[in-house]
Structure 1
Amino acid sequence: MAPTPSGVRTAADVVTAELVAQLCEGVIGTGRTSSHTPFTGKKLAELPESTPEDVAFAFHRAREAQRAWAATPVRERAAVLLRFHDLVLRRQNEVLDLIQLETGKTRLHAHEEVQAVAVAARHYGRRAPAYLRPKRHMGAFPVLTKVAENLHPRGVVGQIAPWNYPLELSVGDALPAFVSGNAVVMKPDTETALTALWARRLLIEAGLPKNVWQVVIGEGHVIGPAVVQRGDYVSFTGSTRTGRGVAQIAAERLVGASLELGGKNAMIVLPDADLDKAAAGAVRGAFSSAGQLCISIERLYVHESVANAFVERFVARTKKLRLGSALAYGADMGSLVSQKQLDNVTRHVGEAVAEGAKVLAGGRARPDVGPLFHEPTILEGVESPMAVCTEETFGPVVSVYRYADVDEAVELANATSYGLNSSVWGRNGRQAREVAARLRSGTVNVNEGYAAAYGSVQAPMGGMGDSGIGRRHGREGILKFTEPQTVAHQRVLPMAPSFGMDDAKYAKFMSFSLKALKALRFR
């Protein structure tokens, strides 16, 4: 695997002092902190650092702005999202540079975030008025009881966004909150804050009042609890361990929370699969964003009748992947984001090999390309209790297992406490979908690794078990940011004895009425 040629442009060309000052305008922070690029490990930008007191002020400012924003007609709020959609696509090169420099991704993998944000902005920009429209329901008594369901914004959402998808998992998650009339106080990861701040600047340009979106920057253990303790609703994406703590704080405060957490995602290759397509899909599913993707594939189950042929194709494709750090299209896989991630990957691979696993491709760090690069790695012979067998690696490592029949494959795929994403490959679409329905995961892709389900934004996306609670996308992805209110207007007759009825006659009348409503097939 040879590195791609170095790009002409450098971090200094992209991240200027002027740009940082523009992006940080309005960020509340009395201290200073720094971000770094994983491509070289060098300092990328100096940023304001927020304290818990700064977080409190950010919430105060957001609450003041939220009242007027909530009073803005929903179609006007939705129009902001549609203008933002156009701005993101028009100025995508700006944010692609930032995403690459902050995460170490290839440009194509960074572009997945642009696609995801544009799709979410279009969907909620078009569908929010219908999602949020007051609904009529049948009342206790037909005609006599008129019932309407109103949806009110929760207020100010506390959002904690991760480093691995700094555009999509910051503004992409916030868009339905904004269009439903909420303000947001968001804590991005410090190392990827510039991308989130770029999105904020563009959304303000599209028409969002600037104080409706507050960004605070700082260490998670310092200001993260302050964000969770003040939000009227909490949106968190990150590790399962941290997510449990967030859920506990939210539960104590009796506020809602959505949590997208970790995964140990499985891919099943059925006996009738197109092996060339399945191998190409496995490369995308396992090594996109260097495997630093909650829904990436880490466990690969192949039917024993086609295992040798599949593995040969998969290994050959993996060995051809090009590592690179250029701010341009061309590289197939980029860098890990931090020394912590690299250490975890090397630990998982090293322990597995020491305990008998075999490296079929990759297996080494690549400091010759950059300080945090690691080769895309395929392991075979992985068994419990190897860490790579059960723990989330969150890096470019996938383990291949062989199975004898479909029931065994389903059992093995479901043998985890996680349940975020799965993948099934087979020529017989009906059979593949039947297998998919048996898998315990929030999304399942047939003949694709992860993008088909995630990109289908009208459908919900989220995890089961240790992979979290709540959903993003679709109706569920916007209604979670609202409080439903039922308004029931009783007319003519009260819900009590009337016209001289005593209690016994009223009870008899109600019993007759209930039987009649069932006979007339009222619901």
Structure 2
Amino acid sequence: MTETAAGNPTATASAGARTAAAVAAEFVTPALVERLTRGVTGSGTVAVHSPLTGEALAEVPEAGPPDVVAAFERARAAQRAWAARPVRQRAAVLLRFHDLLLRDQDEVLDLVQLETGKARLHAHEEVQAVALAARHYGRRAPAYLGPKRHTGALPTLTRVTELRHPRGVVGQIAPWNYPLELSVGDALPAFAAGNALVMKPDSKTPLTALWARRKLVEAGLPEDVWQVVVGPGGVVGPEVVRHADYVSFTGSTRTGREVAQGAAARLVGASLELGGKNAMLVLADADVEKAAEGAVRAAFASAGQLCISVERLYVHESVADAFLARFVARTRAMRLGNTLGYGADMGSLVSGQQLETVTRHVEEAVGKGAEVLAGGRPRPDVGPYFYEPTILDGVEPGMTVCDEETFGPVVSVYRFRDEDEAVDRANATPYGLNASVWTKDGRRGRRLAARLQTGTVNVNEGYGAAYGSVQAPMGGMKDSGVGRRHGSEGILKYTESQTVAQQRVVPLAPFTLGPLRYDDEGYAAFMSRGLRALKALRFR
């Protein structure tokens, strides 16, 4: 394995490391591709490349608009029988998938690394996230989806039940950066709710999603319930939105707006997790050693290609020097790895386009006066799209890296004097996805967290604590999205609610009951007395 410490000499290779080319040749065989693409149709083919080598991994079917229509037809036909199964049977499929995922994780870890170039530990974060979601919805789906009794208009006389029905066929558009978690992780609650799914994975990373589909089929999901269509986003994406009963999208804010407009035109719902320019706040009482270690995870996991990673770092001026000394040292010591196996601290960017964006943001900032404290250069000696983990100081408004999402291993450092200033600066962005607060006082950290305009806030962690707590909702405010994944919101969004109210004994209108006769005026008086009584009895 080539493992290079950023800015330092080549480090010792990890034991058991395997080259990407060797694994691709031995594992990504025509037989594997044929098995993964079984049931996936297309009018052409598209090549999948590995960013670790720049070489082609495989060719998969490429869909056009007619293929998308056919996929929705198959999904609709299969969905009826799937929805007719008791929810506990559907949930049991998720629990079996959980076990298969953990049993065969080395296969999917290889695929994630080959398709994204990320370090294996960061690929394992995806396995962890999907296993958590599978277990949670496998256990909790019956409770989330079961009939709910509510107090009626007239207690005891009006019996009210809330039912949950699947929406039908969900259209999912998944990104390349987390090809396991952001494909099957979002699909699991949709399946538990009784939906079928037509998913468009990114053309850079379809093999991982197709592997997950095969494992779900092995766990008991009917094959046609999950359709996969691979193709250009500008062609296949709008077709998915055009035919879906609900849309799940993760990607850029710009594309998210287009998806939202397409869904709104058809009056179908959509959940959108979009971009972020996430802030980490290091308070005056923070443990700077732990904060520096956490900042490395928060900023450079998956080479910064993570919507919830930290790109803005606000440090109290009293601890800035001590923190930066530790953070810079840790960043400079990070190992870049281009092989498959544990041991590397960071992997590759996914493409030449991502490398160009990162390089441009850093070079422009430096040209306008920013200082590079660590990193700051591509590493073609490690792989075609590698870039060193980079810390910038002296970033000012007007620099692209200050305001726009870089989506790479680049973090900018800013100093602040008081917490009000830090909160104001952290909130001064159109985005609102994730934030991180570091302090020795947990209560203080939680109070400050509540003032930040983000969907999730982690105290003394970068992003994993909130994201991994799957009973709680996760999503964005402002330009970072609409809707939530995880928790009750993460599954109920895939359903339509229906209220069934049964009126008994007397109608909600003037009535006669034995000797009691209520005309219009009498009925109005009867209801007024009842409303006063219900308030006095503290009915909700």
TM-score of the two chains, using structure 1 as the length reference: 0.99
**SS of residue in 2 equivalent to 1:459:** coil
Deviations 1:237-258 (A, max 9, x none): 0000000000001011000000
Instruction: Quote the residue 2:431 is aligned against.
Output: 418
Deviations 1:171-219 (A, max 9, x none): 0000000001000000000110000000000000000000000000000
For residue 510 of structure 1, what is the aligned residue in structure 2? Answer: 527
Change (3 A) 1:4 1:391: farther
Is 1:39 aligned with 2:31? Answer: no
Q: What is the SS of the residue equivalent to 1:38?
A: coil
CA shift at 1:506, angstroms? 1.2
In the alignment, does 2:18 pair up with 1:7? yes
Q: Kindly tell me: are residues 313 and 234 of structure 1, through their superposed partners in 2, closer, same or farther at Cα, counting changes over 3 Å?
A: same
After TM superposition, give the deviation of residue 513 of structure 1 in Å.
1.1
**Distance between the aligned counterparts of 1:402 and 1:208, measured in 2?**
52
> 1:501: how far off?
2.0
Give the corresponding residue for 2:238. Answer: 225
1:136 matches 2:149: yes
**2:420 aligned partner, one-letter code:** D
* One-letter code aligned to 1:115: Q
Q: Which residue of 1 aligns with 2:229?
A: 216
Deviations 1:85-144 (A, max 9, x none): 000000000000000000000110000000000000000000000011100000000111
Quote how far apart the aligned CAs of 1:7 are.
Answer: 2.3
Displacement of 1:521 after TM fit? 1.1
CA drift of 1:28 comes to 1.6
Alignment of 1:237-386 (within 5 A): 237-386=250-399
* Counterpart in the other structure of 1:64: 77
| Alignment check: 8 A CA contact 1:365 1:374 kept | yes
Within a 5 Å distance, the mapping from 1:73-112 to structure 2 comes to 73-112=86-125
**Corresponding position of 2:482:** 469
Inter-partner Cα distance in structure 2 for 1:204 and 1:366? 41
After superposition, give the CA deviation of every residue in 1:15-74 in whole Å (9 maximum; x if it has no partner).
111111110000021211111000111111111010111000000000000000000011
The SS at the match of 1:169 is coil
Q: What residue identity is the alignment partner of 1:520? A: L
Task: Give 1:113's aligned residue.
Answer: 126
The alpha-carbon deviation at position 519 of structure 1 amounts to 1.0
- C-alpha change, 1:188 and 1:4, in structure 2 (3 Å) is farther
Contact kept in structure 2, 1:4 and 1:331, CA below 8 Å: no
Whether the 8 Å contact between 1:3 and 1:324 is mirrored in structure 2 is no
CA offset digits 1:330-369 (Å, max 9, x no partner): 1110000011100000000000000000000000000000
- Please say if residues 3 and 369 of structure 1, whose CA atoms lie closer than 8 Å, have aligned partners that are also in contact: no
Amino acid at match of 1:172: G
**TM-score, scaled relative to structure 2:** 0.96
Q: Separation in 2 of the partners of 1:457 and 1:303?
A: 32
- Give deviations 1:406-443, integer Å, cap 9, x for gaps: 00000000000000000000001111111111100000
Q: Does 1:196 align with 2:209?
A: yes
* C-alpha distance in structure 1 between counterparts of 2:537 and 2:65, whole Å: 60
CA distance in 2, matches of 1:7, 1:364: 26
1:488 counterpart SS class: strand
Superimposed CA distance per residue, residues 459-478 of structure 1 (whole angstroms, 9 cap, x where no aligned partner): 00000000000000000000
Does the CA-based 8 Å contact 1:24-1:48 persist in structure 2? Answer: yes
**Per-residue deviation at 1:445?**
0.2
Percent sequence identity is 73
Q: Which amino acid aligns with 1:160?
A: I
Q: How many residues align?
A: 523
Larger mean CA deviation between 193-202 and 6-15 belongs to 6-15
For residues 10 and 161 of structure 1, the distance between their equivalents in structure 2, rounded to whole angstroms, comes to 25
- The one-letter code sitting in structure 1 at the alignment partner of 2:520 is D
